[in-house]
Structure formats: C-alpha cells, structure tokens
Amino acid sequence: MRFGTGVSTTKKHWNNEKQQPRFTDPNLNANSRRLNVIEQFVRQAYNDLQFDNKRTLVGADEIAVFKKSIAEFLSPSKSNVAATAGFESDFQQFIDTYTLTSASGLVTTKRPAENTLQIYRRTLGALQEFSKARHYPLEYESINQEFYQTFFAWASNDCGLVDASISNFIKVLKTFLKWSRKRGHHSTTEYESFYGDKRTVERIALSVDDLRIIRDLDLSDSKRLSRVRDHFLLQSYTGLRYGDLVKLEPHHFDDKAGVIRLTTTKTDTPCIIPITKPLSLLLERYPSRLFEFPSQVKQNLYIKELGVRAGFTQQTTVSHYRSGKRVEEVKTKSELITTHVARRTFVSTSIRFGVPESVISVVTGHSAKGTLQQHYIRLDEGAIKELVCNAWEKL
C-alpha cells in the first residue's frame, strides 16, 4: 500500500536506510512529528481491525477498511470532516476530558488544575470572539500561517494583549490540535511552526525590608486587611502557590517534626516546608490551622490595598512585549504586588539568607536542575529543616 504522507524534503536531508529525516533537515522537528503521528495512527488502525472467531487471516473487507481509514487520516475528505463534531465542539470535549501526560510520555488519568482549565476556556472564548470579529472560520484546515498572523494582530491591536498573553493562547491551541490529531479529527501540521514568545512581563519580589514592613504594620483598625496580611505572609514564608495555599488543612501540619508536608496540584510534587521561626509566630494566631482564604482575584486586589497601606508608593519601571516591541511602563510597587510575588519573595529571600537552590526546589516543588540535583543530592527532612530555619532566623 502506498500513501502520500504530506512530508516533503530533499534527498540530502533524508536517511533512506532509517527511513527518517536527517538532522540537517531544516524542518526536522515538524517532519519527524508528522511521520511519528502517521506511524502511530497506522499501528492503531491495524490493532482496531476486527476478525471473527473462524478466521485468522486478514480478509478483503478488513483491508478495505484499513486502507480507507489511513487515506482519510492523511487527506480527510469534506464528508469525513463534517462527520466529526467540529472544531469548537472538539475543543470543548478537549477541555472536558483532557488528561495529563507524565514526563516519560505515559498518559495518565490526572486532569489539569482548575487554573489551567480556566486558561483552556479563555482560549476557546478568545478564538470564538476572534472568529466573530474577523469573520474567520474556525476549521482545522484554516489553522495556518494566515490564521496565526491575523489572530496575533487582532489580540494585540484590538484587545491590547501583550505577546506573553497571546502566546499562552497559542500554547493551548497547539496542545488541543495535537490532541485532536491523535484522534483522527485532522491531519494538518502547519500549527507546529507557530511561535510562542516566552519573554514575559518583568516581575518583582519584595525585599527583606519590605517583608518586615508588612509584618510589623499596625492593622488593628482593619480585620480584613489583617487577614490579608497574614495570608500574604503565610505564602511568603512557605513559598506555596496560591492554589496550593488555599488547600492547606490541619493534617498537612506536623508540628512535632516542625514541617508542612503537601503535594502540589500543578506538578504533583511532594514538598517539605520547614516551619521557620517567622512562620511559627504567624501560626500562633491560628492554633486550629484552619484558614479562610478569599479567591485569588480578590486576594490580588486586597494585596494591592495592603501595599498602599504599607507605603509602597515608589515608582518602578516595568516592561513587556507587544507585537515584538519592548514597551516600558511606570507603576507603583503596590500595583505590581500579586499572590505570586509572595512565592517569588520566599525564593529570593531564601537565596539572600544563603539557602542553596537545591534545598529551595524541595520546598517549592520546582524541578531539579543539573546532574547533581537530579541524581546525587538527597537531603532528609532534618537537613532541609535545619538549613531553612537557620537561614530565616535572620528575618
């Protein structure tokens, strides 16, 4: 059986013996992915062949079904495309059913975190809004370079989004298109060349002096801001993402061992968080270890109000990228404080106090970097607690 794969390259870029592109192929990644996807589909189509109990050989009917499924996957006809649920319905199914893949490539039953699913929903909403505004059809065949350029211009010029935000949409779109291609909904590959700008808006972290100002701020006249301050400090002392912070329960606290044990939602990584002296003093106000956290949106608003109360009115120049150009803005520090600033403050403060990065990554749940961290450095709870607690005595 012979089929056109849609992959085109020159003889010098093709390894005929191994039947794969050479490393010199300028489109190596895209071509390799395309051929791998085709091979996986053909194998699955073969495994799906149905035989009765009396025959062990492939019959003419099975061969016809086999050939037809491959031909439609490689060059889907209009009737075949129409038979699918459609781009938007498929996208919604993707949001409702998508499961994560492990680092080794194993498909799991674990669903993305709710924050990630919210980004998926916003991406679909942005695509639908774009389609309506620019009269651009949302079809698999229309997701090409023209779509990429038109969508990027619309999101940047009409919606005022920075490049990093648009790139988040593109990243989700590419994930969806890979997911739907594996299910035979399309065979397009042009989206693989879509570029996502990884240059993000400049971020801040609070200094040790800033952290002390917030800690010592007199908020006796406002119980609400006092709670907001406690939540911000709790995050600054633990380095937890806000999504993990709100899930803290009494059983996560081992006061006898002096640590908090928690598995992160985003990366499913076990974390060991020492109860340092500043954290211990804070927890004295919550002996039940029960907290009432506002939503992240409200917390971000409240933190900015807390920043104004703390006197963080100094102007700071930050930059971002829009349509590939660097744009600078001047904002007060209070405007830039978010829940993630607290996590970044924990890391920055720990570094300043002399805690090694390998130890910080165990506390925050970040991936180990380098051969030493990945394969050799193994620290027990006692060592982690001693290093972190001794360092944070300086606060």
Question: Residue ranges per domain, the chain?
Answer: 1-75, 86-199, 208-392
Label residue 40 by pLDDT band (50, 70, 90): confident
Q: Is the pLDDT of residue 380 over 90?
A: no
Q: What is the C-alpha separation between 39 and 383, in angstroms, rounded?
A: 49
State pTM to two decimals.
Answer: 0.66
Per the CB < 8 A criterion, the answer to whether 346 and 325 are in contact is no
- The candidate with the shortest Cα–Cα distance to 171, out of 126, 107, 224, 231, is 126
Residue 321 pLDDT grade (very low, low, confident, very high; cuts 50, 70, 90): confident
User: Which CB contacts under 8 angstroms, 24+ apart, belong to 68-75?
Assistant: 69/45, 69/184, 70/1, 70/3, 70/41, 70/42, 70/45, 71/3, 72/184, 73/38, 73/41, 73/45, 73/184, 73/187, 74/3, 74/4, 74/5, 74/6, 74/38, 74/187, 75/4, 75/6, 75/187
**CATH fold of the domain at 208-392:** hpI Integrase; Chain A (1.10.443)
- Mean pLDDT confidence for 222-236: 96
Sign of CA dihedral 59, 61, 67, 70: negative
What pLDDT was estimated at residue 170?
A: 95
Amino acid at site 122: R
**76 pLDDT exceeds 50?**
yes
pLDDT at site 195: 82
pLDDT at 81 (0 to 100)? 42
Predicted local distance difference test score (pLDDT) of residue 326: 81
